[in-house]
Amino acid sequence: MAIPSFQIATIKGDGIGIDVTDATIAVIDAAQNRVGGFSLDYRQILAGAGYYRETGLDIEENGEEVAGTADAIFLGAIGLPSVRYEDGTEISPHLRLRDRFQLYAGIRPIKAYPNIPRKLSDERAAAIDMIILRESTEGLFYSAAAHNRCPVENDDEVQDTLRITRKTTEKLHDFAFNMARKRKEKGSRGLVTCVDKANVFKSMAFFRKIFDERSQAFPDIEKGYNYVDAQALDLIRKPWDFDILVMENMFGDILSDLAGGLVGGMGMAACGEIGDHHGLFQPAHGTAPDIMGQDKANPLAAILSGSLMLEYLADKTGVQALSAAAEIISDAIHSGFSQNTIRPTELGGDMGTRAVTQEIIRLIHS
């Protein structure tokens, strides 16, 4: 029988996006070699600020269509301070992809690794392992970005819109509960916490009502509630108590950065954006022009996003070898930190992008 093959659309983008994408592909290839049972076919799509400067296009012709036919999309990072669209806004073809493919479920894993300097001295902080699940197509951001539907916008007053729809919210909560179930099988607590401001906003009360409705189908999963302000405090006081936090777009934007800060820098922040038929994976950081081309970028956020991508493909296709490859990558990173053989510059260590990548590959093969 032929081994299953998957097409990955890669958009390296700009700045450190290019280095961390190369690093991720090298690590995934090593894991794939080690595990076997599947093959990946990469199709590079040219896009970004540099590409726009050269061609006047922010993504190559048909690039969006090609991304749409791939089994998954991997993105480095896009944007350069000196390059803008004619209206002065930042180059952002990836936001169009999110919109076009309705990537409503934004996943930000927050996990502590050994030997990374942590902000909390409490030893329980070593056990931090949660997912922030952020709705990514509506909420308060809906009025910003692509839609720009301000009900009032004049020189005396501006209003934005917070939009919550039943359809997307049902899918989001189902996604959260299903993910909790999957994590529970691997030993996590099986708890989903709905983070909102239901005491003040009707839209948020609606968000919570749908959370309750959908939870009925998941009696094996514990549910919790927290107002977003209390949640911010709890993320500092007892982050080890949480498993999956599900929330509206802007709350997720803020809390995921806060939570990310507890377990390392931007260089550790992985991200997946998932819709009904598409998944886009990228590090949560930007192009970091201040360190580009200096071999200083921490590739781990990207590599961890690549590992998320393999898990996503495994779920989508049922090919278990993909899941095994994801696990081999996570295990390598974990043991590298435990043994202190992974020491990224960003975290005060002495290893640049290439050295960190080579070490992960060595651990995968060992």
Binding site for ligand ATP (CB under 6 A): 16, 79, 266-267, 285-288, 290-291, 297-298, 301, 346
Residue written as tokens 């020189």? 155
Residue closest to ligand ATP when measured from CB atoms: 286
Nearer to ligand ATP, 83 or 266 (CB): 266
Q: How far is the CB of 109 from ligand ATP (least distance, A)?
A: 15
Pair type for strands 279-283 and 270-274 = antiparallel
Question: From the CB of 284, what's the least distance to ligand ATP, in Å?
Answer: 8
Q: In the complex, what is the shortest distance from the CB of residue 34 to ligand ATP, in angstroms, rounded to a whole number?
A: 25
Q: By C-beta, is 89 or 121 nearer to ligand ATP?
A: 89
Q: Angle 286-325-310 (CA atoms, 0-180°, nearest 5)? A: 45
- Residue 261 or 286 with smaller CB distance to ligand ATP: 286
Q: How far is Cα of residue 16 from the mean position of the Cα atoms in its chain?
A: 17
Q: What angle do CA 81, 84, 89 make, to 5 degrees?
A: 100
Q: Closer to ligand ATP by CB, 286 or 349: give it.
A: 286
Nearer to ligand ATP (CB atom), residue 96 or residue 209: 96
CA distances from 135 to 34, 144, 152, 167 (A): 35, 14, 25, 12
User: Whole-number minimum distance, CB 345 to ligand ATP, in Å?
Assistant: 7
CB of 177 to ligand ATP, least distance (A): 30
C-beta of 286: minimal distance to ligand ATP in Å? 2
Q: Cβ closer to ligand ATP: 19 or 243?
A: 19
| Closest separation in Å from C-beta 91 to ligand ATP | 10
Q: How far is the CB of 256 from ligand ATP (least distance, A)?
A: 12
Q: How far is the CB of 82 from ligand ATP (least distance, A)?
A: 13
Nearer of residues 298 and 307 to ligand ATP, judged by Cβ: 298
- Secondary structure, 3-state, the chain: CCCCEEEEEEEEECCHHHHHHHHHHHHHHHHHHHHCCCEEEEEECCECHHHHHHHCCCECCCHHHHHHHCCEEEEEECCCCCCECCCCCECCHHHHHHHHCCCCEEEEEEECCCCCCCCCCCHHHHHCEEEEEEECCCEHHHHCCCCCCCCEECCCCEECCCECCHHHHHHHHHHHHHHHHHHHHCCCCCEEEEEECCCCCHHHHHHHHHHHHHHCCCCCCEEEEEEHHHHHHHHHHCHHHCCEEEECHHHHHHHHHHHHHHCCCHHHCEEEEECCCCEEEEECCCCCHHHCCCCCCCCHHHHHHHHHHHHHHHHHHCCHHHHHHHHHHHHHHHHHHHCCCCCEHHHCCCECHHHHHHHHHHHHHC
Q: Which is nearer to ligand ATP, 214 or 285 (CB)?
A: 285
Instruction: Select 120 or 266, whichever has its Cβ closest to ligand ATP.
Output: 266
